[in-house]
Every structure is written in C-alpha cells, then in structure tokens.
C-alpha cells in the first residue's frame, strides 16, 4: 500500500548503507569530493542505528543490498556489469548478487512444487537436488523427470517474494512522488512512470507461466541464430511459481579464467553477445532484457546459452526504425539526420531549433568517436544525450527505458570479456543491415502490402465504418450549431434572472 509510511523504508535505506559501510564504498567508487563525503557522513552517521545489519560475512555493498530486499538486489545486478562506472572492486562485490545469494531450503522448494502441480515431488521427479543457484527472486534445482529420465532445471520462486517486492516498489513510488514535488523540473523525466514501468516488468517476473511463454517465444525467434541457444520449456511440469526447462551444461560467461581454460575466444564471445542483442532488438523487437553474466553461459561447442527469461523487452516496429536511425546517424556521424529523427518521432518538441539541436548532438558524438576503442562507451553516450535532451525539453521515453538499460548491461558484459572491443565497429554491420531491410524502396513496398492486407480484412466493413464516421461527424456539427444558437438566449435569460435578483435586493434595502 502506497503512502507516507513508506518514508520509513527510504530512511532505512540510507541508514543501512551507512551501517554496513556501503556508503563509503559507493563514494570511493565514484571518487566523491571531500565536501560530499563530509555531507554524507554528517547526514548518515547519527541515524545508522536505524539501518539493517545484513550478513557480516558479505562485502559492504552486497551486504546492504541483500538486506534491503529484491528491488535493491536487481539494481545491484545491473551495476555489477559496469566496472567502468563503479570500479572493478565494487563490480566484483556486486557480481555475487547474480546467482550466489543465500538459498532457501529444499523442503520449501519441494512444498512449492507439490502445491503448484498438485502431485508429490517423487511422482514427477526421480531426482531433486539441493539448490544449484540462488538469485533475488527464485532459485534453481537440478532434477530428473520420472517419465523420460531427462535431466532438467527447476526454477522455484522464493517464499513470500511477492509481498517483499511490493514493499520495495511502494517505497520507490513514494520516492518518485517526493522528487516530483520537490523538483518540478524532474517531472519532465516522469519518475513515477519510470517506476510504474519497472513495476510492470518485475510483476511479470513473479509469474513463471509468463516467463515460460517468453522463453518459448524467444526460442522461436532465435532458432536460426548461429552460436546461440536456450533451454526448452517443459510445460506439464511448470506453473505460476515453478518453471521446468531442459538442463544445459556450460561455463559461466563471467568466469574469464574458466573460459580461457576451455579454449573459448573471449573477443569473439564479447562481439557475439553485442551482435545477438542488437539483432534481437532490431530484427525481432523482442529481446532478453536481463543479459548479465549470471544469465549467460557458454556451451562446450561455443554456443552462448541464455537463461532466466523473466524480464523481456518488446518494442514496436516504428520505434525500432527510429532507434536504428538514431544509432546509424551516430555511427555515420550524421548529426542532422539524428536531429531530424528526434523531431519526426516527436521526441523533441517541434518549437525547438533543429539546427541548434544537431550542433548539440555533434558535441555529444565527436568526443566519443575521438576516443580510443577501449574508451568508447554507449553508456557514456547515453549519459551525454541525457544532458543535451534535457536542455531541449525531451521527455523520458518509457518504452525505451528497458532497451537503453539492457544496452548498457550488454556493453558491460562485452567489455568484461574483451576490454579492447570497439562497440561501434561491432554494431555497425547489424544496424546497416537493418537499415537496408527496413528503410528503402523494398521496405516501402512491404509496408504498402501490409496496409493492403489490413484493408482487405476490413473490406466488407469499410462502407459501414465510413458511414458511421460521417454520421458521427454530422451529429457533432449539428450539436455544436444548436449550442451556438442557444447561447445568446442563455445569456439573455441569465441576465434577466441576475437583474431581477439585483432589483429584489435593492428594493429590500430601500
């Protein structure tokens, strides 16, 4: 339930960061100036006793986030893939959040399985192991199907996770409301809409039937992708709180030493991760939106295997074209084209100066392209773009939040595999291929064909639809005409009543 009582959650967040020592770690990671360090110390130290202690055996940042709950853990997972933003030490601490959290008991997991399938565990699985991985929302068990003997992975939601996550999200809603109230300028960024979007995504992750459907759709889209695969869903053994998939062996993508020992080319893996993401986003409009190292493995044959399909991103075809044109414009350093795309899509208000906006975009792009390949960063580009678009009144596009966030995460994964990777050189052929397929005479002819198909489906109803539209328009015009004719009489009657009332008051006084 949203309300002022969630203020306690926000206060406890700051106190927990101070009490666990995470505040200092964060300030060190961002190389905070002395004045900011002193302000944080003065504000946090007196209230640290209100904070949660967490597990003292964990590093400070991990200790604080795990104590605070699932939503904070998700945030930490994202940061763990960006050592260029938070530093190597903090990124290493946060990586523990991906798949090595404290598990719940196998007895609780079996009880959940039995409740969901309405069958004893022994009648479904001949083997059911202790947890092999534990994340913020669920954990995974290795099992074997009774019926076929196939080895499978069984994902089980944490007990009480729905309520725990609701508390975190409610506090985030309050924080967004406070920000919007105290800083009217922030309303342009629509903090409440951003939280609502995040809320919707995670609510989908709390229903494993939806995740199973997402995995099935994703598998259909990517069957032809070389060097990529994912486990198949076992529908009869899945439900709202459990999901069963085929078991696939692989080396964790975050274990560089193990990848090297297995003979995998990390440079190729880094480029492939980025290429796959861009293909899924642009070609299919449906992509894995939680592609951190904990959800990716490398099979013995070199295929990248994806897991955990609770957070999937979807963007419509028009938005994909806009996004591709913006990327392509930056790659070609055609800043006027990028500016025009922003205006045509309505991302920037029409009353702004397109030439000035193009010059501002050049100020964003040129410094990045002048950098060494190891320093070129889409994350940095997005940060610079934020500053520029704020100046030109661009509102936050909630439909692109997940895409932008995932791009930053994927870049972090690619960089961890191959620090020398040139992000733009990898992205160029994917974006150019999409542009060729979707922007040009062939694409125009294909769009006309799709339009004809829609018209053909509605063909028999078109005369009726047109007639209804015309009748509604004529009725609206007639209603407006009658109102206009009645308006003088209404004023005349109102004036007469008002005059009589004034005369009555005057006579009473006299």
Catalytic residues: 290
Contact call for residues 322 and 415 (beta carbons, < 8 A): no
Query: How many CB atoms are closer than 10 A to CB 1?
Result: 7
Residue listed under structure tokens 């939680």? 290
State both tokens at 169.
């999200």
- The DSSP element (H or E) to which 496 belongs, if any, is helix 462-509
Q: Nearest CA to 361 among 330, 395, 396? A: 330
Distance CA 442, CA 70 (A): 47
Distance CA 338, CA 389 (A): 12
Q: Nearest CA to 282 among 324, 338, 221, 331? A: 324
End-to-end CA distance of the chain: 61
- The DSSP element (H or E) to which 289 belongs, if any, is none
The full length of the chain comes to 510
Distance CA 379, CA 364 (A): 12
Contact call for residues 369 and 333 (beta carbons, < 8 A): yes
Angstrom CA distances, 196 to 70, 77, 271, stand at 16, 20, 33
Return contacts of 5-12, CB within 8 angstroms, 24+ apart: 6/170, 6/171, 6/173, 6/174, 7/174, 9/167, 9/168, 9/170, 9/171, 9/174, 10/171, 10/174, 10/175, 11/47, 11/50, 12/50, 12/51, 12/52, 12/68
- DSSP line for 379-402: HHHHHHHHHHHHHTTPPP-HHHHH
Distance CA 116, CA 98 (A): 26
In terms of DSSP bridges, do strands 304-306 and 228-229 run parallel, antiparallel, or are they unpaired?
Answer: parallel
Distance CA 412, CA 26 (A): 18
Return the percent helix, strand and coil in the chain, to nearest 5.
Answer: 65, 10, 25
| Alpha-helical segments (H) within 151-246 | 161-182, 191-205, 208-221
Angstrom CA distances, 455 to 207, 443, 466, stand at 37, 18, 13
């Amino acid at each position: 339930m949203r309300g002022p009582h969630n203020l306690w959650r926000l206060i406890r967040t700051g106190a927990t960061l101070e009490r666990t020592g995470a505040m200092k770690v964060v300030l060190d990671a961002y190389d905070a100036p002395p004045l900011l360090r002193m302000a944080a110390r003065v504000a946090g130290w007196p209230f640290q006793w209100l904070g949660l202690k967490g597990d003292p055996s964990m590093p400070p940042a991990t200790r604080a986030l795990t104590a605070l709950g699932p939503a904070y853990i998700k945030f930490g997972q994202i940061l763990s893939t960006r050592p260029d933003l938070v530093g190597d030490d903090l990124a290493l601490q946060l990586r523990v959040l991906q798949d090595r959290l404290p598990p719940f008991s196998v007895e609780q997991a079996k009880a959940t399985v039995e409740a969901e399938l309405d069958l004893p565990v022994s009648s479904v699985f001949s083997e059911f192991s202790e947890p092999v991985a534990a994340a913020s929302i669920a954990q995974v068990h290795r099992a074997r199907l009774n019926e076929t003997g196939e080895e499978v992975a069984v994902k089980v939601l944490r007990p009480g996770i729905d309520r725990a996550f609701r508390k975190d999200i409610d506090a985030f809603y309050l924080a967004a409301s406070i920000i919007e109230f105290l800083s009217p300028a922030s309303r342009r960024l629509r903090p409440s809409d951003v939280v609502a979007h995040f809320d919707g995504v995670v609510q989908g992750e709390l229903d494993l039937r939806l995740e199973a459907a997402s995995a099935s759709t994703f598998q259909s889209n990517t069957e032809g992708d070389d060097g990529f695969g994912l486990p198949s869903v076992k529908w009869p053994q899945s439900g709202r709180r459990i999901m069963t998939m085929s078991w696939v062996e692989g080396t964790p993508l975050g274990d560089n030493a193990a990848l090297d020992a297995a003979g995998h080319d990390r440079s190729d893996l880094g480029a492939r991760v980025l290429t796959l993401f861009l293909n899924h986003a642009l070609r299919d409009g449906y992509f894995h939106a939680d592609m951190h190292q904990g959800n990716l493995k490398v099979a013995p044959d070199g295929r990248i295997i994806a897991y955990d399909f609770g957070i999937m991103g979807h963007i419509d075809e028009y938005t994909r074209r806009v996004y591709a044109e913006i990327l392509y414009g930056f790659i070609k350093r055609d800043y006027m084209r990028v500016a025009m795309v922003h205006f045509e899509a309505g991302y920037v208000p029409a009353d702004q100066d397109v030439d000035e906006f193009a010059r501002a975009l050049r100020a964003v792009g040129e410094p990045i392209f002048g950098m060494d390949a190891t320093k070129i960063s889409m994350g940095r580009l997005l940060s610079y773009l934020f500053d520029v678009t704020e100046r030109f009144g661009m509102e936050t596009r909630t439909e692109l939040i997940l895409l932008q966030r995932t791009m930053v995460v994927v870049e972090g994964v690619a960089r961890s595999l191959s620090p020398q990777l040139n992000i733009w050189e990898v992205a160029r052929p994917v974006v150019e291929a999409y542009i060729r397929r979707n922007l040009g005479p062939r694409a125009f002819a294909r769009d006309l064909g799709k339009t004809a198909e829609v018209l053909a489906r509605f063909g028999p109803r078109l005369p009726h639809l047109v007639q209804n539209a015309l009748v509604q328009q004529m009725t609206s015009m007639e209603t407006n005409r009658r109102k206009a004719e009645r308006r003088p009489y209404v004023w005349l009657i109102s004036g007469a009543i008002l005059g009589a009332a004034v005369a009555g008051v005057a006579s009473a006084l006299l």
